[in-house]
Chains A and B, each alone.
Chain A
């Protein structure tokens, strides 16, 4: 039981730390990430229930969610002030790259969805 208590304590501490230290811009991106993750889980559950008949459509939709998740996570990483030493990009450049990659992703997704 003490183990559970410890884990709960760690989680609570993590939550507090998160609420305090993260700026609003990053929290926005985090909310978007959680939304995309939920969409991906719903799609995968649907596929497990109904079957994979138009397999290319399922793949296209699922990879679209994973791709959006990855790109938003990369944007968050690049916008985070703590990582300024690793990356050498301005926030505008990070967002422009994000848009560029999204264009490629969605063009291919629309082509593949059949």
Chain B
């Protein structure tokens, strides 16, 4: 087809261009070459040169995509303030601030004493430094040219900045795959798609913000190096892969997808020397570059996740060698069978070697994080910490539409078009689509890796559709024969039909059914009844334009309502619509920062560790890194045991303050009581004799905090810390005192006293509650003391188990059994 031929032509001519990031220059030169090769049309245009128009349109569309991507992520900055969101970004921000103050080498060698209290954390060896280094470089550069921007602003706005760059990288990627028109669509789609903007709003200072840019850029360079077979592009791919390894743990996706691509190309008989050159150089340089990151270390040669790349490398060397030998043998065609037999033998040998090495222990098996993608029940049984994260849950069908709207419907169409017109690089995008769809179905967090692929394929589908339908040459311009515009790039909207006519004027006539026109005549709109008339085409184009507008509206709405909450500042709306800010988290952390000794230790659940260390600047016991399961289990055990047992654990761990999150007063549902069962499960994993999850449920198996709740639950430390003094509080005149608004019940254990902790601080809406752990008492109370201490009687109903009689509806307890007739029998009590 004409499109395919021209794309290949333009890609080979583009080989000499080194300015991959400069679309204007590239499109200028390449479009000039293309136009001069087809015909001399420049002479006919009057004011606007077509090449200039092409590159101008590309530039404008890309700039608009960049700006709209940047702007649509700024909702939370406008509504609240420029603040770091969520939990993980606080650690990234703290380490970036550390790096700008203390320099790069101190950052690489940093040992953090504020985290994981008795153990500490070797930060240099346990993070992916790409994010911090990127912000640090931008900070250094801006300060060098005397623009003093604070590091927090750089961190907050880094993700929107890189989202625009991702749009550019996706444009380049799609241009290599299909055409420039599809590239412009893809850039526009990924700029605003909610699947990507959910993880890259302003303030979400996390690895994914730069990782998706590195991913798309690496894939673009890989496709280019496969197409050209150039050593230069392969080395650039390796360098971009190095940046990706430094940025995100998801680099495993790249190092597995590219070998699968190579393998499938070999299986499909599409092996070529370009493939050999590009993959070998990429693998070797990428291997040694990836081992420079301390966190990755020797994993690329020791773990199963990287063995596919090594195996395909060995197989490719063998294939190339045997292929070379075959060129030397004169009668090569006769022994083709032997050739493939040899290749299969080599493949089996490599596979067997990997299996043997794995069983021998030299190669580590798949780690839990990645194995749970294959066997989805594995994490629930064996690693409850991985199973408890809400991002790791399976994806629901609705979230596909919510995150991708129109694109998820166009996505299979684009995949089909790529399969129909298969080339080496389109095999890659099809494989990417298959694997990304599987992973996105397993874990909701991996919707992020599916989004660029969906944008690219939907753009291809839309571009091919509009190539046909937007091509509505009407009869008034037919003084010259019109040709289909498959070999002209840069026009992607229906409003550019005029421009298309401009540079088609002196084109050669091609025999296209239904559009043939002889000079000087006025051809009918349809000469052939099988071809759609231009009116219908316009209608279709208008419908497509409306769908795209709806897509843009949906994306903006989703980003604004669902993904722009900073989660450290909550907002609710009064009856008259005015906004009411709930700033309890920052209030509590600020209190911690100002009112506690500098070396105080704070115990809380691991969710809040990064925030406490970041904003409160105090030592925490466990934080979001979750690298030490036993330590977290100890904290969970302390939270789940009664107060005396918990006090023993807390003195052992040397804890000064305990922090809990409680949402019962305002109805905040992300509090610690709702997370409590996960604490119990994780504690049970390490201490199964002391903590049993069944103890915390009622007999019916429900988790209740009211009178019918299990006594173990109603006396545990977490319960007491959350509901201390809550029994006196009446939030609403219609409900009794102590009514929990999140669980919608009245609590069962009220008016108790705390023995080993005392309340230090409770925030305005009771969301964060901080308690100080009391030191051991000086004197123990003597048994026959003369002074009686009045303690409030705890209103607490005991549930004595009567064998088989309690809690059944309609049963009167202790009902005397009356036996009729004869002698007086014993009463059953």
Interface residue ranges, A against B (CB under 8 Å): 10, 13-14, 17-18, 21, 55-56, 59-60, 63, 66-67, 70-71, 73-75, 77-78, 82-83, 86-89, 94, 96-98, 100-101, 104-105, 108-109, 111-112
Contacts and interface: CB of A to CB of B under 8 A. Distances in A.
A59 B228 CA distance: 30
Contacts of A14: 325, 328-329
A101 B277 CA distance: 12
B281 interface: yes
Contact of A111 (B234, B292, B298): B292
Interface in B220-264: 228-232, 234-235, 238-239
B31 to A, nearest CB: 19
A82 B273 CA distance: 11
A61 B644 CA distance: 59
Interface stretch (B32-40, B282-290, B739-747): B282-290
Nearest to A87: B229
A71 B232 CA distance: 11
Given A70-B280, A87-B273, A111-B292, A101 B285 contact: yes
B391 to A, nearest CB: 34
Contacts of B274: 86-87
Contact of B288 (A67, A74, A89): A67
Contact of B239 (A66, A96, A104): A104
21 contacts: A18-B328, A21-B328, A55-B298, A56-B291, A56-B298, A63-B288, A67-B288, A73-B320, A74-B231, A77-B276, A78-B231, A86-B229, A86-B274, A87-B229, A88-B12, A100-B232, A104-B235, A104-B238, A108-B285, A108-B288, A108-B292
Contacts of A82: 327
A63 to B, nearest CB: 5
B292 A112 contact: yes
Given A104-B239, A112-B291, A67 B328 contact: no
A17 B328 contact: yes
B235 A108 contact: no
Contacts of A74: 231, 276-277, 280-281
B498 interface: no
Given A73-B280, A74-B276, A108-B288, 7 more contacts: A55-B298, A70-B284, A71-B231, A77-B276, A88-B228, A101-B231, A108-B289
Contact of B231 (A17, A60, A97): A97
A112 B328 contact: no
Interface in B275-312: 276-277, 280-281, 284-285, 287-289, 291-292, 298, 301
A97 B232 contact: yes
Given A59-B298, A87-B274, A100-B231, A10 B288 contact: no
Given A74-B231, A87-B273, A94-B231, A104 B285 contact: yes
Contacts of A108: 285, 288-289, 292
Contact of B284 (A21, A63, A87, A97): A63
A70 B228 CA distance: 17
Contacts of A18: 328
Interface string B305-327: 00000000000000010000101
A96 B281 CA distance: 15
B759 interface: no
B38 to A, nearest CB: 20
Given A70-B280, A86-B272, A97 B288 contact: no
Contacts of B273: 77, 83, 86-87
B15 interface: yes
Count chain A CB atoms within 10 A of each CB in B235, B276, B287 and give the residue with the most.
Answer: B235
Contacts of A78: 229, 231, 277
Instruction: Name the 9 nearest CB pairs between A and B, nearest first.
Output: A97-B231, A97-B232, A70-B280, A74-B277, A101-B235, A67-B284, A17-B328, A63-B288, A108-B288
Interface in B70-90: none
Interface string B361-379: 0000000000000000000
B818 to A, nearest CB: 84
Given A14-B328, A59-B291, A112-B292, A66 B12 contact: no
B288 A105 contact: yes
Contact of A63 (B235, B287, B330): B287
Contacts of B281: 70-71, 74, 101
Nearest to A15: B328
Given A59-B301, A60-B288, A77-B273, A89 B230 contact: yes
A100 B234 CA distance: 11
Interface in B192-239: 228-232, 234-235, 238-239
B230 A109 contact: no
Nearest to A10: B329
Contacts of B276: 74, 77
B58 to A, nearest CB: 25
A101 B238 CA distance: 10
A87 to B, nearest CB: 5
A60 B329 CA distance: 37
A101 B229 CA distance: 14
A11 to B, nearest CB: 10
Contacts of A21: 328
A105 B609 CA distance: 41
Nearest to B239: A104
Nearest to A75: B231
Contacts of B289: 108
Contacts of A63: 284, 287-288
Interface string B691-731: 00000000000000000000000000000000000000000
B91 to A, nearest CB: 27
A111 B778 CA distance: 60
A50 B274 CA distance: 38
Given A97-B230, A100-B232, A77 B292 contact: no
A21 B289 CA distance: 38
A75 B289 CA distance: 21
A2 B301 CA distance: 43
Contacts of A67: 284-285, 288
A17 B329 CA distance: 8
Given A10-B329, A86-B272, A111-B292, A66 B284 contact: yes
Interface string B353-394: 000000000000000000000000000000000000000000
A112 B235 contact: no
A97 B230 CA distance: 8
Nearest to A77: B273
Nearest to A94: B231
B292 A100 contact: no
Interface string B420-464: 000000000000000000000000000000000000000000000
A97 B225 CA distance: 13
Contact of B235 (A94, A100, A111): A100
A98 to B, nearest CB: 6
A77 B15 contact: no
Contacts of B329: 10, 13-14, 17
Nearest to B287: A63
Nearest to B229: A87
A10 B273 CA distance: 24
